Amino acid sequence: MVIYCINTLAMLAKNKRFLILSAASLSLLLIPFVAMQFTQEVQWKTGDFIVAGILLLGVTLMIDLLMRKVRSKSKKWLLMLSCAALFILVWLELAVGIFGTPFAGS
């Protein structure tokens, strides 16, 4: 299992599009990091950055997979928008608890 994961990551590292998407998504984590330097309103902990990074990389991986595997443009866009909507719903739940699950942030 570990060897499969390493081989998969090595294959993804060769994919230039995935690297660009990953760099762009992870650069979004700089926004709260910089905001933390200037205001007390933003107070992220290390775990918050880890969870956000995992979510962003997961969505990036799914979008890259959809871009490579789905042929139909309409299906591709529908699935990518669905991934983005799911990401936003999970992010909102973790941040403010719009559904009231035990994972809510506040």
Out of 44-48, 64-68, 76-80, 102-106, pick the least confident: 102-106
CA distance 19 to 12: 8
Question: If you average pLDDT over residues 55-74, what whole number do you get?
Answer: 90
**Residue 10: per-residue pLDDT:** 67
Query: Residue 59 is which amino acid?
Result: V
Closest listed residue to residue 64, CA positions, set 8, 97, 28, 19: 19
User: Quick one: how far is CA 94 from the chain centroid?
Assistant: 13
Average pLDDT, the chain: 85
**Residue 26: per-residue pLDDT:** 83
pLDDT-derived band at 55, boundaries 50, 70, 90: very high
pTM of the predicted protein model: 0.75
